[in-house]
Amino acid sequence: MKLLLKYNILPKPERYETLEGTYTVSSSTEVLCSKEFTRAGHYLTAYLKTNPRQGEGAITFKKVEGMAKESYVLRVAPDGITVRASDERGAFYGAVTLKMILMQATKTEGKAVVNGLLISDKPHHGYRGLQIDESRHFFGKEVVLRVLDQMAMLKLNAFHWHLSDDQGFRIESKVFPELNSIGSRRRYAGLKGCGMEYRGGEYFHYYTQEEIREIEAYANSLYIDVIPEIDLPGHTRDMLAAHPELSCTGEPTEVMCENGVASEILCAGNEAVYAFLEQLLAEMCGLFKGKYFHIGGDEATGGHRKYWQNCPKCQAAMVQNDLKTPKELQGYFMTRVNEMVKKHGKTAIAWNDVIGDSFDDSIVCQYWLPNNLGTVRKQAFKRDMILSPTDYFYFDVKYAQIPLRKVYRFDEALLGLAKPGQRVLGLECEHWSEFLDTETALQFSMFPRTAAFAEVAWTDPQIRRYSDFKKRLAWLKTYMRKVGIIYSRVEKGNRLTVGACRYHLGEDGAEFARSEKLRALETEK
Ligand SMILES: [Zn+2]
């Protein structure tokens, strides 16, 4: 009997059996789907270069009742290929898996011979996110569209888009055009700090509202939700450069050209600030279709507090609202911001360092800071959580600090965040862009770690094995080489290179140079 080959599928499916026989797919193979699974059908026909039809046929997408959310069953047998699912997302992920199989199937004369198989699959986490920061460096539409394709291929479904920070405001505002003419512009392209000096000339980038809508529509066509972030009340030098009247002192300032966090902050006691945010957030919420809106809230505790402590308006607000500490003042500020986005039908997400018991339970907490784990565990019983711990999922950090194996070994149970009653929505990997200034640098930090991340987010921990993942990853690397995605070849922890800066410096970094050397060797072979 012929030994049936297994295909390399990332992330690993829940169950995989080989069946007798084969099925041959060509460009004349009909793809038929029920109406609501048309997008799933299109994903496949775009690859096969055909058009999906409604009805039943050679490759059939069938709706069945009672299957779990986002789950699918894929069967390949001599009589045809079927994808069964109860919802659109499940059908789509069936198409994604089938495409990955077709890419690996033996091909002769334009026909792909697929071995018989039965896969039943469902995600471990419902929220599987990837974040890109475009404030520090702007990648632009074409790069983002490619990232969305890569996300869909790995069954990631949430794109967290960090669009405002000290170093630049990146969405067109028609209500406050100075946020673009001043806030989207800074003096240098390359940021100073962490061993880097100012580089390049003026840097002026933002997405037009039309581009934003186009990108979100594309994401949605791949069943990826877009979560925009306007970081408040710290991380706002971009806004304060455009509107200095919103700070406690009213002094003029500039969009930041350095790495790190500016100490300037929005005044929390000035009603004009809340009026400004009402209008801005109304415009921004109206621009995006998704359910979630990220309101930031992180790192507003350092030098910021001296502004609030010395500001008569902030002090008056504290007295009036019986707030004892600057932290409580920030809670008051965030609560008001939450009400604003809620009014527009959005659910707010905020970083864990700001969240406390006084916060509305509807606010989702995004966990990033490892030293707040005790509080986070308690909050997880109260509100939905997204986990993106810095020591596992901050992919702008060097491979020496967060190697592939470490990403793969992540388990929320080890953090005490898998207890019954805790509301963990899922996981997210972060690509802060202080040092990621090109698509190449971004890809290098993303891959192969994002493949490991996708498996951690999708696959049940019980069936995950690193050695097995590495074997399947070998296929993905072949694919990435073919399509020109840059990935890191640096495997072994190389702790000596960590040094003072824990971030890898994109194309300027030693790890990148080392990986490129290995890449050259690989090409010679
Ligand atoms: Zn103030």
Question: How many A from CA of 310 to the centre of ligand 1?
Answer: 8
| Whether residue 157 sits in one domain with residue 61 | no
CB atoms under 10 Å from CB of 462, counted, come to: 7
Question: How many A from CA of 300 to the centre of ligand 1?
Answer: 13
Helical packing angle, 466-483 and 449-458, nearest 10°: 130
| Whether residue 155 sits in one domain with residue 113 | no
Residue 522 within a domain: no
Residue 420 within a domain: yes
| Whether residue 134 sits in one domain with residue 63 | no
User: What pLDDT sits at residue 437?
Assistant: 93
| Whether residue 137 sits in one domain with residue 96 | no
Residue 328 within a domain: yes
| Whether residue 339 sits in one domain with residue 216 | yes
Question: How many A from CA of 179 to the centre of ligand 1?
Answer: 20
Question: How many A from CA of 317 to the centre of ligand 1?
Answer: 9
Question: How many A from CA of 121 to the centre of ligand 1?
Answer: 53
Question: How many A from CA of 250 to the centre of ligand 1?
Answer: 9
Question: How many A from CA of 305 to the centre of ligand 1?
Answer: 10
Question: How many A from CA of 247 to the centre of ligand 1?
Answer: 6
- Domain-terminating residue out of 79, 95, 121: 121
Residue 407 within a domain: yes
Angle at 400 between CA 398 and CA 401, to 5 degrees: 70
Question: How many A from CA of 284 to the centre of ligand 1?
Answer: 24
Residue 281 within a domain: yes
Residue 66 within a domain: yes
What secondary structure does DSSP assign to 124-174, as a single string?
Answer: S-SEEEEEEE-SSS---HHHHHHHHHHHHHTT--EEEEEEEETTEE-B--S
Question: How many A from CA of 295 to the centre of ligand 1?
Answer: 19
Q: How far apart are CA 200 and CA 188, in angstroms?
A: 6
Longest Cα–Cα distance of the chain, Å, equals 84
Q: How far apart are CA 61 and CA 246, in angstroms?
A: 54
CATH number of the domain at 380, please.
3.20.20.80
- Domain-terminating residue out of 73, 104, 121: 121
User: What pLDDT sits at residue 54?
Assistant: 62
- The rounded mean pLDDT for the chain is 93
Question: How many A from CA of 93 to the centre of ligand 1?
Answer: 49
| Whether residue 205 sits in one domain with residue 87 | no
| Whether residue 441 sits in one domain with residue 412 | yes
Question: How many A from CA of 184 to the centre of ligand 1?
Answer: 24
Question: How many A from CA of 365 to the centre of ligand 1?
Answer: 26
Question: How many A from CA of 256 to the centre of ligand 1?
Answer: 21
Question: How many A from CA of 304 to the centre of ligand 1?
Answer: 10
SS (H, E, C) 459-517: CCHHHCCHHHHHHHHHHHHHHHHHHCCCCCCCCCCCHHHCCCCCECCHHHCHHHHHHHH
Question: How many A from CA of 197 to the centre of ligand 1?
Answer: 33
| Whether residue 89 sits in one domain with residue 232 | no
Residue 242 within a domain: yes
| Whether residue 68 sits in one domain with residue 133 | no
Question: How many A from CA of 316 to the centre of ligand 1?
Answer: 9
Question: How many A from CA of 298 to the centre of ligand 1?
Answer: 18
CB atoms under 10 Å from CB of 440, counted, come to: 16
Please compute, for residue 239, the number of CA atoms within 13 A of its CA located in the half-sphere on the CB side. 24
* Parent domain of 417: 127-516
Question: How many A from CA of 327 to the centre of ligand 1?
Answer: 14
| Whether residue 499 sits in one domain with residue 351 | yes
Q: Which residues pair with 193 in a beta bridge?
A: 196
User: What pLDDT sits at residue 496?
Assistant: 47
Q: How far apart are CA 5 and CA 222, in angstroms?
A: 29
Count of structural domains within the chain: 2
pTM of the model as a whole: 0.96
Question: How many A from CA of 312 to the centre of ligand 1?
Answer: 7
Question: How many A from CA of 309 to the centre of ligand 1?
Answer: 8
- Domain-terminating residue out of 54, 87, 121: 121
Question: How many A from CA of 270 to the centre of ligand 1?
Answer: 6
Looking at the chain, how many residues does it have?
Answer: 525
CATH number of the domain at 92, please.
3.30.379.10
Residue 416 within a domain: yes
Q: Residue 512: CB partners within 8 Å, gap ≥ 6?
A: 441, 444, 488, 504, 505, 506
Question: How many A from CA of 314 to the centre of ligand 1?
Answer: 4
Question: How many A from CA of 264 to the centre of ligand 1?
Answer: 11
Q: How far apart are CA 67 and CA 72, in angstroms?
A: 8
**For 392-427, how does the pLDDT look when each residue is reduced to its tens digit (9 = 90+)?**
999 999 998 899 999 999 999 999 999 999 999 999
Strands (E), 258-339: 292-296
| Whether residue 71 sits in one domain with residue 138 | no
User: What pLDDT sits at residue 495?
Assistant: 56
**For 121-178, how does the pLDDT look when each residue is reduced to its tens digit (9 = 90+)?**
999 999 999 999 999 999 999 999 999 999 999 999 999 999 999 999 999 999 999 9
Question: How many A from CA of 232 to the centre of ligand 1?
Answer: 14
Low-confidence ranges of the chain (pLDDT < 70): 1-5, 52, 54-57, 492-501, 525
Question: How many A from CA of 306 to the centre of ligand 1?
Answer: 10
| Whether residue 444 sits in one domain with residue 494 | yes
User: What pLDDT sits at residue 1?
Assistant: 42
Residue in this structure with the two tokens 């694919």, named with its chain if needed: 479
Question: How many A from CA of 136 to the centre of ligand 1?
Answer: 26
